[in-house]
Amino acid sequence: MKNRDGIIERGGSLVVMAALVALAGGTVRAEGVPAAPITLEQATEMALHTDPRIEEQRANVARAQVAIERVKGEGGPRVSANLFVGLAPKAGDGIFTNGSNTCPAGESCTLRDDGNELDQGFSVSSGLTASIIQPLYTFGKLENYGDAARLNRDVKASEVALARGETWLTVRRAYWGYLAARDTRQMLEGVKQQVDRTRDDMRKDAEAGEVPMRQLYALESGVSQLERYLAEASSVESIAIDGLKTIIGVPIDANLELADSGIKPVALPDGEVGELADRALAQRPEMAMAENGQAAMRNYVAARKSERYPNLYAGLIAGATYTPGRDRLNNPYINQPLNQAYAAPVVGLQWEFNPGVMRANVSDAEAQLQGVVAKAKLARQGIPFQVAEAYHQARGLKQQIRALDAAKGNTRKWMVSTFMDYQAGLAEGGDLADAVKANTEVQAEYFRTINDYNMSVARLAIATGDYPQ
């Protein structure tokens, strides 16, 4: 015969047992796992300190800083040196054919012409040439390249803020997704326990011929649907908690507990959509990126154009060569390159450009500038829409939560009353299956909608720039 025990009391005891099991979770924790259940804020802080995506963008900022230092180095002194050792022919006996470097009065002296002969052998020759050059004025090259590099560094710094925003959003997706899936699973497990007990009673009655088999088949169909939802919730729960462990830097096989007992709707930010859009245009990292990017490209174009002008510089050039076996001459009209020393201060203008390449570089820089301007324009147009989209989605989902909150109470009452009617013989198995199915779908949709709503509020915060940057 049917079991006439009270369904409501029995279901309540199951909920209490489930809660006690949850509270009695293991206390042994893996290395690196928080000693206590973590809150959403704690998980966010951990992720912001461990996410490799943020570190990657910080490395890009460091590289941009190197570009600034490189431009500064271009404006500093340049040192060039060349030390060499080689072989050179020996040469002695003066510059005249008389074997002397002097020509006595009254004698006819002839300069030697045996410089290409090697009859005196070879000697080791060594020398050093060096120069120190200090740019004085570059007609805007260093200034514009330097400003472009600094602005590019600021753009990269904004990309760090964007990466932090993505991490902030990812933590919420995993945290709330886990809570929603866990609440759904726990709810479904409670319903399934009630249904399983009733199904066992119905099977006995059907085998005894007191209940038509179609009622048992109808209830079995409802149980299958319930088990499908339960499997889906368990899968999402496992994926979400493993994703949260990954983003906050906890070993994936560790036991991580969350401080929140269940998922709850978060508060919508104050202000209408127009106010939120204005706030986004004022504080979104993309706006700073657009402004800095445009300014950087304008400086870059100017720097490319300034390459048509020379560089004014001052410096010192010097050199020395020593070859044993060759005389050193101090005559101002005769140079002895293999045995000499010299030094001279210089001031000069230096050109180094290819007109065709220069025109191509300028055209390329101007094209890049046009692209950056277009992106900035797109950001100004698209950001208000992103704010409006997230805002309206959040408001719509909030209304859905109110409706589902009322619906889940009614479907719960429907299911419980149908259980009681069945126990009293006033309802069939098909009626019970319909009630269980309706309650399962509404309860699962309720938790899913809360998660969707919370994520819409989070995306609204990203759209307005209201997150830790």
- The DSSP code sequence of 183-196 is HHHHHHHHHHHHHH
Region 18-26: mean pLDDT is 31
Alpha-carbon gap, residue 219 to 232, rounded angstroms: 20
pLDDT at 8: 29
Is residue 427 predicted with pLDDT exceeding 80? no
SS3 132: strand
**Amino acid occupying residue 58:** R
pLDDT band for 24, please (50, 70, 90 cuts).
very low
pLDDT at 389: 93
C-alpha closest to that of 440 among 177, 224, 229:
229
**In 249-351, which ranges are continuous DSSP H helix?**
273-283, 285-306
SS3 405: helix
Instruction: State how beta strands 311-322 and 122-137 pair.
Output: antiparallel
Alpha-carbon gap, residue 469 to 455, rounded angstroms: 19
pLDDT in tens, 186-211: 998 988 888 888 888 778 777 777 77
Give me 143's structure tokens: 């200034």
Specify the range with the lowest mean pLDDT, choosing from 22-36, 336-350, 353-367, 397-411: 22-36
Is residue 439 predicted with pLDDT exceeding 80? yes
Report all structural domains of the chain as residue ranges with CATH numbers, in order of start: 7-21+37-75+138-310+351-464 (1.20.1600.10), 81-103+120-137+320-350 (no CATH)
C-alpha closest to that of 7 among 432, 327, 438, 468:
432
Region 337-341: mean pLDDT is 86
Give me 163's structure tokens: 């990466």
Specify the range with the lowest mean pLDDT, choosing from 145-149, 390-394, 417-421: 417-421
Give me 89's structure tokens: 């022919």
DSSP 76: S
Is residue 213 predicted with pLDDT exceeding 80? yes
SS3 227: helix
Q: Which residues touch 9 (CB under 8 Å, ≥6 apart)?
A: none
Q: Which residues touch 131 (CB under 8 Å, ≥6 apart)?
A: 78, 79, 80, 81, 315, 316, 317, 318
C-alpha closest to that of 380 among 288, 466, 268:
288
Alpha-carbon gap, residue 384 to 287, rounded angstroms: 12
C-alpha closest to that of 202 among 220, 191, 216:
216
Give me 102's structure tokens: 């002097």
**In 208-265, which ranges are continuous DSSP H helix?**
213-248
Q: Which residues touch 73 (CB under 8 Å, ≥6 apart)?
A: none
Contact of 346 with 315, CB cutoff 8 Å: yes
Alpha-carbon gap, residue 391 to 318, rounded angstroms: 72
> Would you give the distance in Å from CA 308 to the centre of its chain?
38
Alpha-carbon gap, residue 28 to 428, rounded angstroms: 49
C-alpha closest to that of 191 among 160, 149, 219, 159:
219
DSSP 38: B
Specify the range with the lowest mean pLDDT, choosing from 57-71, 89-103, 259-273, 363-377: 89-103
Give me 398's structure tokens: 């909030």
pLDDT band for 31, please (50, 70, 90 cuts).
low
Alpha-carbon gap, residue 125 to 127, rounded angstroms: 7
- Alpha-carbon separation of residue 279 from 29, 274, 395, 446 (angstroms): 43, 9, 19, 32
Q: Which residues touch 359 (CB under 8 Å, ≥6 apart)?
A: none
Highest mean pLDDT among 352-356, 380-384, 407-411, 450-454: 450-454
